[in-house]
Chains A and B, each alone.
Chain A
Amino acid sequence: MKRIYVNEKWCLGCHLCEYYCAFANSNIKNMVDALKDVTIRPRIKIEELQSISFAVSCRHCEEPLCVKGCISGALTIKDGVITIDKNKCVGCYTCVLSCPYGAVSPSDHGVMQKCELCTQNGGEPACVKGCINKAIVFEER
Chain B
Amino acid sequence: MNYVIIGNSAAGIGCVEGIRNIDKDNRITIISDEAQHTYSRPLISYLLEGKTDINRMKYRPDDFYKNNKCDIKLSTRVTSIDNEKKTVSTDKDEIIPYDKLLVATGSRAFVPPFNGLDSVPHYHTFMKLDDALALDNDVKENSRIFIIGAGLIGLKCAESLHYKTKNIIIADLAERILPNVLDNECASIMQQHLEEKGFTFMLADSVEVFEGKTAKMKSGKTIDFDVLIIAVGVRPNTELVKAIGGNVNRGIVIDEHCNTSLPDIYAAGDCTESYDISADVTRILAILPNAYIQGECAGKNMAGSDCIFNKAIPMNATGLLGMHMITAGSYDGVTHIVKSDDTFKKLFVKDNRLVGYIIIGDVLRAGIYTALIRNKTPLDSIDFELIKDKPQLMAFSRTDRAKFLGSVV
Interface residues of A (CB under 8 A from B): 3, 5-8, 47-49, 52, 54-56, 59, 61-62, 65-66, 68-69, 71-73, 87-88, 90-102, 104-106, 141
Contact = CB atoms under 8 A, between A and B. Distances in A.
B135 to A, nearest CB: 18
B364 A47 contact: no
Contacts of A99: 365, 367
Given A8-B401, A59-B409, A92-B317, A101 B393 contact: yes
A52 B406 CA distance: 16
A102 B46 contact: no
B134 to A, nearest CB: 21
A90 B52 contact: yes
B14 A68 contact: yes
A66 B315 CA distance: 13
Interface residues of B, number: 48
5 contacts: A54-B401, A68-B296, A96-B363, A96-B366, A106-B364
A94 B405 contact: no
B324 interface: yes
A72 B365 contact: no
A8 to B, nearest CB: 6
B344 interface: no
B338 interface: no
Interface of B: 14, 40, 42-43, 46, 51-52, 56-60, 288-289, 292-293, 296, 315-319, 324, 326, 328, 363-368, 370-371, 374, 386, 391-394, 398, 401-402, 404-409
A69 B51 contact: no
A72 B57 contact: yes
Contact of B367 (A55, A71, A100): A100
A97 B405 contact: no
B359 to A, nearest CB: 10
Nearest to A48: B394
A32 B292 CA distance: 44
B22 to A, nearest CB: 15
B364 A102 contact: yes
Given A72-B59, A106-B364, 20 more contacts: A3-B408, A5-B406, A6-B405, A68-B14, A68-B289, A68-B296, A72-B43, A73-B58, A73-B59, A92-B318, A92-B319, A93-B324, A97-B315, A97-B328, A98-B315, A99-B365, A100-B374, A102-B364, A105-B365, A141-B408
Nearest to B10: A71
Nearest to A97: B317
